[in-house]
Amino acid sequence: MKNERTKQEEKRAFENKIPGKGLSRRSFFKYMGAGIATYFVWTDYLASGILTTNEDNFPASDQLSSWIHLSASGEITVFTGKVEVGQNIRTSLTQVVAEELFLPVSSITLVMGDTQLTPYDRGTYGSLTTPQMAPILRKAAANLREMLLQQARQEWKLGEISLDMEQGMIQHPNNGKKLSYGDLAKGKNLLQKMDEDVPTIEPSKWKISGTSVPKVNGRDFITGKHRYVSDMVLPDMLYGKVLRPPVQGAKLKRANTDKAASIPGVQVVRDGDFIGVAAKNSRTAAMALASIEADWERSSQVSRDQLFDHLVSSAEKGETINPQVSRAFEEAAHKIEQDFEVQYIAHVPLEPRAGLAQWTGDKLEVWTGTQRPFGVQEELERAFNLPGEQIRVYMPDTGSGYGGKHTGEAGIEAAILSKATGQPVKVNWTREEEFKWAYFRPAGLIKVKGAASEQGITSWEFHNYNSGGAGIDLPYIGSNKHQEYHRSDTPLRQGSYRALASTANVFAMESTINDLAGKLGADPLQFRLNNLDNDRLEAVIKAAAVEFGWKRTKTNGNHGFGMACGAVKGGFVATFAEIAVHPESREMKIIKAVTAFECGAIINPRHLESQVTGCVLQGLGGALFESVDFKNGDISNAFLSSYRVPRFKDVPDMKVILVNRKDLPSSGAGEAPIVCIAPAIRNAIDDAVGVKINRLPMLPSGIVPEG
């Protein structure tokens, strides 16, 4: 075993390390300038018990997580590896710091997602930024505040007395003299590890957090000043295009690039099966790519009409089911057994993938829109056999991710072309490439068996094939349950999507719960409340029901009311929908949708409302229209003209109710609100015309089937 002296030496050596690429205490202030700073390591937060040690979602425990620096001129700079993908987290995290330092949001600069400047972070996903990073930055800012107060006491030779802070100034309690934060930082090289026990401001006393502060840099987005990667230009930059197979799974047999190489200004790059071109403008690059003659070997693959049989037949063997679950189902008077089909859908981000790369000797810089800049850095390390210190990834605030930008394909392609040509190269994916070669939300088949009596749910058996295990746990009371996710072979490339599999699982779950209520002749809302033991979920159900007017009379016989609820990733949501089905055409129209949402203490109400609204609107697509059509690896609807997303005419009268729990920690909101719109609509259709639709999307043609 290590002796105590060795342990202390190792501890001191580690604490001499601060964020960035191997910066020491000495080089930190040389790099950042004089001032006062505080930093934090994951080890301390693990010890607090707030985070779990899931190795798939968590950085190494000795990684630095965040830091805040106050310069001698009074500038506050905050560093985090999280990124902004349209969820307005830049604003809310800045609010958290401003609150603890008694400063306006405009006085704080937040540096995000730059692998050379920010601490390591696994990525921005899973609605984890607010529950994980906000408390860390809050405590780091509070530590800086306490350091400043202590410096002021020393300056004025005061004891441990209370001092007032406001707008970057600390006031003497007796003579009214003031010291600015910058004054206290001058000539200092103070770097302090964060104290986990530092007091923070209670949500009930927030003045900046909890308010609808406008989006940081919002004006730049409105005026077009902000530059996305697809907008960026470097001196002598070339535009790149990459040869891709005609269908998924095809392998290159032969390629003739002579015509492409003969076009003036075109450089052809070939590295194994990778073939790309680079030119002075994108049009020339596209012409060069089109002139390449390539032969491909295709193989037979699972097509859409074989999908669900394949997912079940290729699934991993399941767990043994408790006989009591099956026995309770067989003995029940009221029971349902049904399957739910969930198609692959695309992310359809506003900004397709883009990457810009530049080599300087053996050092590589890459700009790309990604939710995982450090993950992209690691991909580049493997692709070029380079140490991470020689690779810098920048992530400018980007145009949406929805879980679809965890990987760095465009950045890697740009780097390959840049290395070969010796010039900066930008690769912008087309909308068609985004549809065909990005990964999809997983398809799935869900098998459900449920039974209930007047006393409650007596049996519940739930199997998800391929879609995923997120949100699979039944929130309702019931003693006989079996819930299981079965991994399957997926014909198409799949990956993360907003709320992961929760959307599919909640759809199947809330549809079946609604059907069980119908079997019993019970009110669907009251049936849920009778079987819940979760005050947070009950609160959003009741709030949405009141706003919606659940007990009101329907306009006519073709109108239907439906509801659904769910608890996902620390968020609690309930959605109520009113629909109408035309008696002759069978076209369905959503009249009204009300969503109540609760995620603890609200940091920015306006931005939270936007998140909830965006979730519901995106959820309309997966609920009604969106699906990937494929046959033998060919994606046949890889255009917005053939892939149906929600349009303005599809948007109902919408209302968002925010339930603010200042007594609870803030959670994320980027995912949970999406999960209830589909089952709420499904249940409303059933209520209107007696048709139960157990598939997603439900109405790709917009027509409700006959009952």
Separation CA 21–CA 19 (nearest Å): 7
Q: What is the pLDDT of residue 44?
A: 55
CATH of 314-344+440-696, one of 3.30.365.10, 3.40.50.12280, 3.50.30.30, 3.40.50.150: 3.30.365.10
Separation CA 634–CA 683 (nearest Å): 34
For 611, the token pair is 């998140």
pLDDT digits (tens, 9 = 90+) for 615-625: 999 999 999 99
How far does the chain reach from its first CA to its final CA, in angstroms?
73
User: Angle at Cα 284 formed by Cα 280 and Cα 287, nearest 5°?
Assistant: 155
The average pLDDT across 590-611 equals 97
Is residue 374 within 8 Å of residue 121, measured between CB atoms?
yes
Is residue 534 within 8 Å of residue 525, measured between CB atoms?
no
pLDDT higher than threshold 80 for residue 27? no
CB burial class (10 A; 0-12, 13-18, 19+) of residue 52? exposed
pLDDT digits (tens, 9 = 90+) for 402-425: 999 999 999 999 999 999 999 999
DSSP assignment of 118-185: SPP---S-TT-IIIIIHHHHHHHHHHHHHHHHHHHHHHTT--S---EEETTEEE-TTT--EEEHHHHH
Q: Which of 54-58, 386-390, 532-536 has the lowest mean pLDDT?
A: 54-58
Query: Could you tell me which residues are beta bridge partners of residue 426?
Result: 239, 356
Q: What is the pLDDT of residue 583?
A: 93
CB burial class (10 A; 0-12, 13-18, 19+) of residue 58? middle
Q: What is the pLDDT of residue 63?
A: 45
Q: Among all chains, which residue has been given the structure tokens 């000539």?
A: 187
pLDDT digits (tens, 9 = 90+) for 216-241: 999 999 999 999 999 999 999 999 99
pLDDT higher than threshold 80 for residue 172? yes
For 584, the token pair is 């002759």
> Which DSSP letter does residue 446 get?
E
CATH number of 7-221: 3.30.365.10
Query: Could you tell me which residues are beta bridge partners of residue 260?
Result: none
The dihedrals phi and psi of 290, each to the nearest 5 degrees, come to -65, -25
Between the CA of residue 200 and those of 101, 148, 293, 701, what are the distances in Å? 10, 15, 64, 54
Confidence of residue 161 (pLDDT cuts 50, 70, 90): confident
Between the CA of residue 430 and those of 352, 437, 501, 635, 638, what are the distances in Å? 7, 10, 27, 15, 10
- Please report the sign of the dihedral spanned by the C-alpha atoms of residue 666, residue 671, residue 674, residue 675: negative
Q: Against a cut of 0.95, is the pTM above it?
A: no
The average pLDDT across 641-662 equals 96
- Please report the sign of the dihedral spanned by the C-alpha atoms of residue 63, residue 68, residue 71, residue 77: positive
Separation CA 210–CA 200 (nearest Å): 14
pLDDT higher than threshold 50 for residue 59? no
The average pLDDT across 655-661 equals 98
The average pLDDT across 24-42 equals 77
pLDDT higher than threshold 60 for residue 5? no
Separation CA 232–CA 356 (nearest Å): 8
CB burial class (10 A; 0-12, 13-18, 19+) of residue 34? middle
pLDDT higher than threshold 90 for residue 285? yes
Q: Which of 23-27, 260-264, 493-497 has the lowest mean pLDDT?
A: 23-27
For 80, the token pair is 């985090």
Q: What is the pLDDT of residue 556?
A: 84
- In whole angstroms, what separates CA 701 from the centre of its chain? 29
Q: What is the pLDDT of residue 50?
A: 44
CATH of 229-298+363-428, one of 3.30.365.10, 3.40.1350.10, 3.50.50.60, 2.40.70.10: 3.30.365.10
pLDDT digits (tens, 9 = 90+) for 98-134: 999 999 999 999 999 999 888 888 889 888 899 989 9
Is residue 59 within 8 Å of residue 122, measured between CB atoms?
yes
Helix 89-101 with 134-155: angle, nearest 10 deg: 30
Q: What is the pLDDT of residue 479?
A: 82
Q: Where exactly does CATH 3.30.365.10 map onto the chain?
A: 7-221, 229-298+363-428, 314-344+440-696
CB burial class (10 A; 0-12, 13-18, 19+) of residue 51? middle
Q: What is the pLDDT of residue 55?
A: 37
Confidence of residue 60 (pLDDT cuts 50, 70, 90): very low
Q: What is the mean pLDDT of the chain?
A: 92
The average pLDDT across 72-90 equals 93
